[in-house]
Amino acid sequence: MKVHFKHSFLNKLLYLFIGAFITGVFTYFFNIRLLEQKNIYEKRAEKQTIILDLSQQLNQRIYNAEVFFWDIYYDARKETIMDSWDRYKKITISWNEKLQNNYVLLNILFPTPQYTIDKYSDILKSNLSFRDFLKDEIQLDLISVHNRLIDLKKIINKNDKIDTQNLGDFKNDIEKLHIKITNYIDTLAKAVTEK
């Protein structure tokens, strides 16, 4: 009987060690999987934060350009127009200070050729990377709008008459740029949610 008890005890001890080993292995792989998921969610959250900041910067830039333009378009008082210009100028300076950083972040988060505009947008037709689209499309359009706003400001400062036909064309250009920016931000958001 004692021998039987001894074998029974050893068998139980062996089963305990085997069970502990299997549990340890499963726990290890389960924890590895959880850590991988956590890293994926952290990277996605980091991308979302960066895209949110970029989105806010772009929206502030185009919004303040539009406010300045609409003050001129609706023939606001000169003081109101100049206040709008000062707000626009402040936002533009802030945008320009952050621009190179935005390029670098976009290059790191969305490297070419894995991330291109045409892979994530049915509206924006371009095979440029997110960084290059911001640099070669949106930024150039923002500069063009900015230069036209400077010309309008000079006309206002001289108290000269503004050509209304020119204003109508400019209004359309600003609206197109606003739509392009919105589509760009939507495309970035779509890329961030990719697994």
What digits encode the pLDDT tens for the residues 145-167?
Answer: 999 999 999 998 998 888 877 88
Q: What is the pTM of this model?
A: 0.79
Give one DSSP letter per residue of the chain, joined into a string: -HHHHHHHHHHHHHHHHHHHHHHHHHHHHHHHHHHHHHHHHHHHHHHHHHHHHHHHHHHHHHHHHHHHHHHHHTT--HHHHHHHHHHHHHHHHHHHHHHHHHHHHHHHHS-TTTSBHHHH-SSS----BHHHHIIIIIHHHHHHHHHHHHHHHHHHHTTPPPPHHHHHHHHHHHHHHHHHHHHHHHHHHHHHT--
CA–CA dist 23, 73 (Å, integer): 72
Beta bridge partners of 129: 116
Q: What is the model's pLDDT at position 7? A: 67
Res 2 pLDDT > 60: no
Residue ranges per domain, the chain? 48-192
Res 56 pLDDT > 90: yes
Beta bridge partners of 116: 129
Q: Which of 28-32, 139-143, 172-176 has the lowest mean pLDDT?
A: 28-32
Per-residue pLDDT tens digits for 18-39: 888 888 888 888 888 888 888 8
Contact 153, 170 (CB under 8 A): no
Res 40 pLDDT > 80: no
Per-residue pLDDT tens digits for 68-121: 999 999 988 999 999 999 999 999 999 999 999 999 999 988 887 788 898 888
Q: What is the model's pLDDT at position 123? A: 86
Q: Which two tokens stand for residue 181?
A: 């920016």
Higher pLDDT among residues 13 and 62, named by residue:
62
